């Protein structure tokens, strides 16, 4: 089962390395890892997707809490959430098939972000199933290159992972 684990960490050098090393030492494979700044200066948010059972996901959460610079860890798997991934896909687009590519892009609510004489770069955002479906339709046309951001996820509702606007005091943690 895929678990989506979110860690709020201090935005300092070496934090990403310590987290990745923890996964390596514990023999967990990271399927997706995204890191970015939050609305609070000095705090970054890591979204980590791992394939694990519930017991090992709980252990992993406990291990992450022990790391220096980790403020909070939450497994968003059981809570209602919004999850997205972004992909840029360079696809062959000759004058003969350019109209067909544009129709596919429209059906999937994607966006053309660059056009060249023999290719297009398309941007698509959505859940993993939507992006995989888009890729399956584009494959016969010829995918030249692709890059994906990895999963980002946020629990639904108005409760943030940390309720104190100043950062470090955690008043609510999802189960």
How sure is the predictor about 162, in pLDDT bands with cuts at 50, 70 and 90? low
Q: Closest Cα to residue 166, out of 41, 12, 6?
A: 41
Domain boundaries defined on the chain:
2-80, 83-152
Cα 82 from Cα 129, distance rounded (Å): 14
Phi and psi based region of residue 128 (left: phi greater than 0; alpha: psi -120 to 50; beta: remaining): alpha
pLDDT digits (tens, 9 = 90+) for 104-141: 999 999 999 999 999 999 999 999 999 999 999 999 99
> 83-152 adopts what CATH topology?
Alpha-Beta Plaits (3.30.70)
Q: Hey, is 116 helix, strand or coil?
A: coil
Which 8-state DSSP code applies to residue 63? H
At 163 the pLDDT is: 45
At 159 the pLDDT is: 74
CATH superfamily of 2-80: ACT domain (3.30.70.260)
pLDDT at 14 over 90: yes
In the block, tokens 């479906």 appear at 133
The Cβ of residue 56 has, within 10 Å, a number of other Cβ atoms equal to: 15
Q: Closest Cα to residue 90, out of 113, 109, 71, 56?
A: 113
Nearest 10 degrees: Cα torsion 63, 158, 123, 43: -40
pLDDT at 169 over 90: no
To the nearest whole percent, how much of the chain has pLDDT over 70?
Answer: 92
Whether 2-80 shares its CATH topology with 83-152 is answered yes
Chain centroid offset of residue 165 CA: 24
Cα 89 from Cα 135, distance rounded (Å): 8
């Amino acid at each position: 089962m895929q678990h989506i684990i979110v860690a709020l960490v201090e935005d300092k050098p070496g934090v990403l390395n310590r987290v990745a090393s923890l996964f390596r030492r514990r023999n967990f494979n990271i399927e997706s890892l995204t890191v970015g700044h939050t609305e609070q200066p000095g705090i970054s948010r890591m979204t980590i997707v791992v394939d694990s059972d519930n017991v090992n996901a709980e252990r992993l959460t406990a291990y992450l809490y022990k790391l220096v610079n980790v403020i909070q860890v939450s497994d968003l798997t059981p809570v209602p959430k919004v999850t997205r991934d972004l992909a840029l896909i360079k696809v062959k687009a000759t004058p003969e098939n350019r109209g067909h590519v544009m129709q596919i892009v429209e059906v999937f609510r994607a966006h053309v972000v660059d056009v060249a004489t023999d290719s297009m770069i398309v941007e698509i955002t959505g859940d993993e199933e939507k992006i995989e479906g888009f890729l399956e339709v584009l494959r016969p046309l010829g995918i030249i290159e692709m890059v994906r951001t990895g999963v980002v996820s946020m629990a639904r509702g108005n409760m943030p992972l940390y309720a104190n606007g100043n950062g470090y005091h955690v008043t609510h943690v999802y189960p």
